[in-house]
Amino acid sequence: MPADTNASMKVERKPKLSEHVAATLKSQILSGDLRPGDKLPTENQMTGAFGVSRTVVREAVASLGADRLVESRQGAGVFVCDRPAMAFSSITQEIGLKISHALNVIEVRMGLEIESAGLAAERRNTAQQAAIQEAFFEFDRLLSEGEATGRSDFMFHRTIAEATNNPFYVEVLDALGMRAIPCDITSPWGTDSLLTREYQVMLQAEHLAILKAISAGDADAARAAMRAHLTESQQRYRERLNDQRAEYRFGSTAVR
């Protein structure tokens, strides 16, 4: 079979329009074209400049906000953060669209968040425990109303990191950003199968096991629950990778 035919059969996910917009704006921020304190162009200006819809622009800005590069000020607009979160910036620059990259991120999260959950069970104070519960119930509310749960999912994990009372856990998690959460619409690995209600209900059940262990002050159970949660995420990504391989094989057979 000719090489060019093989190349044409390769199954690849096309980048979302919002990812292109976010990448362009991020490049301008990192290069200094947009400096700390600068105001981003308005939605209307960006829709015109990029030739995209308002929804695409909002997703792109949400992605930058998740990476703490920009912040929204009510009634004023969106501004470049005074101190963009650049620690571990090489991590986020390496995050691409390949599922292998998602698996790498999950592996990093396992090293970080399993111990984070255990420490949160041991060290959390009343306010921090309440914050974890609030993030859990916010996920529940959004799910029941059919709205995107990605931000509340990230906040659930972030409030656990905060409850370790070790700021470096939060810093590394922030460096990975909300795009590490697969059920978020800004995630480069979000797929229709990962955005279903059934999938998110399953996630919430896993979150509940983590929440119960932390609330009970059971560090071992918290670590085990977080390990189970992230291991399930690994498995789901591996299944998606296998699906891609199957699609490729099917395409090869069909051409022949």
Domains of the chain: 14-80 (1.10.10.10), 89-255 (1.20.120.530)
Dihedral, 53, 54, 57, 63 alpha carbons, nearest 10: -120
Exposed / middle / buried, residue 85 (Cβ in 10 Å: 0-12, 13-18, 19+): middle
Length of the chain: 256
Quick: pLDDT tens for 207-235. 999 999 999 999 999 999 999 999 988 88
Give the separation between CA 117 and CA 96, rounded to whole angstroms: 27
Q: Is 72 helix (H, G, I), strand (E, B) or coil?
A: strand
Task: Work out the percent of the chain whose per-residue pLDDT is above 90.
Answer: 39
Quick: pLDDT tens for 170-220. 888 877 765 566 554 445 445 445 567 888 899 999 999 999 999 999 999
Quick: pLDDT tens for 53-88. 999 999 889 888 877 789 888 888 999 987 555 444
In this prediction, residue 135 carries a pLDDT of: 94
Using alpha carbons, select from 197, 178, 174 the residue that is nearest to residue 189.
178
In this prediction, residue 186 carries a pLDDT of: 47
Q: Which helix (H) or strand (E) holds 99?
A: helix 99-123
19/187: higher pLDDT: 19
Output phi, psi for 73, to 5 deg: -115, 120
CB atoms within 10 A of CB 26: 20
In this prediction, residue 246 carries a pLDDT of: 54
Dump strand ranges (E) for 91-224: none
Whole-number mean pLDDT of the chain?
A: 79
